[in-house]
Amino acid sequence: MSNQGKPAVALLSGGMDSATVLAIAKSQGYAVHALSFDYGQRNRLELECARKTAMALGAASHVTMRVDLGAFGGSALTADIPVPTGKQTQSGGVPATYVPARNTVFLSLALAFAETKGASDIFIGVNALDYSGYPDCRPEYIRAFETMANLATKLAVEAKARVAIHAPLIEMTKGQIVSAGLKLGVDYSITLSCYAPAPTGEHCGQCAACQLRKKGFDEAGAKDPAQRH
């Protein structure tokens, strides 16, 4: 592993995809500093899942940073409007669960965090197939962010370390993601996908995120350890 001990930053949400990405980054030899955001999301259980996952997968450190995106409003994930059930993108448009500029905000903060850690590798769990309604989950977006980041930072300008945005799941199906994670020993029982879980953490089984999670485990021919419905 040529990256042995090299610092990297991985965004960690508490869901399946970012847990899988953290495991992938670790498997490539990086010392992974995990970064989570408390952005006023209604679902507070996510942050607890992120903390457990960072510990379980041996992250070098884990920071949860507060960013008050809720002050801006405009999304079902942070505001008091109903969470849509069923397939999110049936109209072909952008889903109501879209948070304004979310990945741009999160990658920018990851870039700041990376600079303070001397890291030039940033991992994010975006996926272009299952989340086709989100503009900031597309490969062309990730490449444009990377280009910008290499013009933005002291790290890139002075140290001549090229910033790389790694999105290892971007072209994978949900089934391939689950398979990859299981192979790397990810404990999916401590991840949370549901948009509207019970106060005790059970998945609702109905929302778009739960249906996508089920599809992933079905395709991988595996049983979801967190599924209680």
Residues engaged in binding a copy of itself (CB under 8 A): 63, 65-69, 71-74, 93-94, 98-105, 107-109, 111-113, 115-116, 135-136, 138, 140-141, 144-145, 147-149, 151-154, 156-158
Q: Closest CB to a copy of itself among 153 and 179?
A: 153
How many angstroms separate the CA atoms of 47 and 54, rounded?
11
Q: Closest CB to a copy of itself among 26 and 33?
A: 33
Taking the CA of residue 35 as centre, how many other CA atoms within 13 Å lie in the half-sphere pointing to its CB?
Answer: 25
Residues 104 and 142: beta-carbon distance below 8 Å: no
Residues 228 and 28: beta-carbon distance below 8 Å: no
User: At which residue do the structure tokens 């933005």 appear?
Assistant: 152
Nearest approach, Cβ of 11 to a copy of itself (angstroms)? 14
How many angstroms separate the CA atoms of 166 and 30, rounded?
12
Nearest approach, Cβ of 224 to a copy of itself (angstroms)? 31
Q: Closest CB to a copy of itself among 129 and 204?
A: 129
Nearest approach, Cβ of 69 to a copy of itself (angstroms)? 6
Nearest approach, Cβ of 2 to a copy of itself (angstroms)? 26
β-pair partners for 35: 11, 63
